[in-house]
Structure 1
């Protein structure tokens, strides 16, 4: 090979990766494709996390009797309980009320979710990671927005040891599947909306 031909070949090999990089980098975030949908869903999952809920009215109120289900969280160390003394002689024969509250460990992994029927305290134990987009509907206009319904699969990573509990698996039906999701990803569906910046999950649309 001549020196001139060799130089042309070297320049071509340098230019091709650069051009390929530019083409990849110029992907339109507004396109309806698996790459953009996966990114939008993962942004949602980063906030969603894997958690189990306790109705807020059962904590810090002392209005209820002892709950067997909540006692399991006491054994784990996420809740603490205190038996309350009757306020008067009229209530001594009534089942004693129990005050449940979060321990410091429980506070570290908890967050509050507001709802129509009251707040829910979420105890989070892992991160949700999308594993693939299986299919999606063609973008369509609804209520002034362009939307697409997307079916995807995900797994839960970084699972805390405390949640690997048979009694909790009986209480929370989806838990066993999430613990096994690394081997068998779970299926879910999301509605994505198109914005000026690209696709977002409907709950993140401002």
Structure 2
């Protein structure tokens, strides 16, 4: 009786260990890894800064703040669609000022993220909407990548939620609750399955 009970306990423990092994290739582990990656993404993003023409300032300058973007006023005539859209919806404001530059004073166009837009500020963009994993549909058997890692290509279904009205207007193809097919590559690390994109990003 005691021997049978011991075998039963050991069998249960082994089963629980197998089920909770983060290195196993299964839908539960892949779902956690995919959702962790999706949590770093947004449904809709619009550029706040136009790369290549923005002026740079010392870190202690008020014009170097994360919520500001400064151009020479003459260049502001090339305002792109994203920035124009953000201004139109009150997410970004513009003021023209004379400021001191390396070659003396000049007229500048200063764009500032407004109180309305600040909750959406994410780096150089204004973003809205969360991405939710609905299901893991299928995945390839883990295989060596040739870079010392095992990888699996995962097909899944996702949906969007909490998208602001301005973001839906900016991208009418996106709607809350709509289910969309997508795919992502996962790699096996010493801590379990992770997004390939996140692993590579952390290495550089």
Same fold by TM (over 0.5)? yes
Match of 2:137 among 115, 134, 140: 134
What is the CA RMSD across the aligned residues, in angstroms? Answer: 3.0
Structure-1 residue corresponding to 2:45: 52
Contact 1:84 1:97 in 2 (8 A): yes
**Cα distance, 1:43 vs structure 2:** 0.6
Q: Specify the SS of the correspondent of 1:164.
A: helix
The structure-2 alpha-carbon separation of the partners of 1:37 and 1:128, relative to structure 1 and needing over 3 Å to count, comes to same
Structure-2 residue corresponding to 1:152: 156
Q: Specify the SS of the correspondent of 1:77.
A: coil
Structure-1 residue corresponding to 2:24: 31
**Cα distance, 1:56 vs structure 2:** 2.5
Unmatched segments (≥5 aa) in structure 2: 1-10, 55-67, 101-106
Match of 1:109 among 106, 120, 125: 120
Counterpart CA distance in 1 for 2:133 and 2:17 is: 22
**Cα distance, 1:78 vs structure 2:** 1.0
Q: Specify the SS of the correspondent of 1:53.
A: strand
Contact 2:38 2:132 in 1 (8 A): yes
Structure-2 residue corresponding to 1:99: 110
2:198 is the counterpart of 1:187: no
Unmatched segments (≥5 aa) in structure 1: 1-18, 88-95, 113-120, 170-175
Contact 2:86 2:92 in 1 (8 A): yes
Q: How many residue pairs are counted as aligned between the two chains?
A: 162
Match of 2:87 among 58, 64, 74: 74
**Cα distance, 1:82 vs structure 2:** 2.1
Which of structures 1 and 2 has the bigger CA Rg? 1
Structure-1 residue corresponding to 2:168: 164
Q: Specify the SS of the correspondent of 1:65.
A: helix
Q: Specify the SS of the correspondent of 2:69.
A: coil
Counterpart CA distance in 2 for 1:131 and 1:21 is: 30
Q: Please give the TM-score of this superposition, normalised by the length of structure 2.
A: 0.67
Contact 2:34 2:133 in 1 (8 A): yes
Q: Name the structure with the higher helix share.
A: 1
Q: Specify the SS of the correspondent of 1:129.
A: strand
**Cα distance, 1:65 vs structure 2:** 2.6
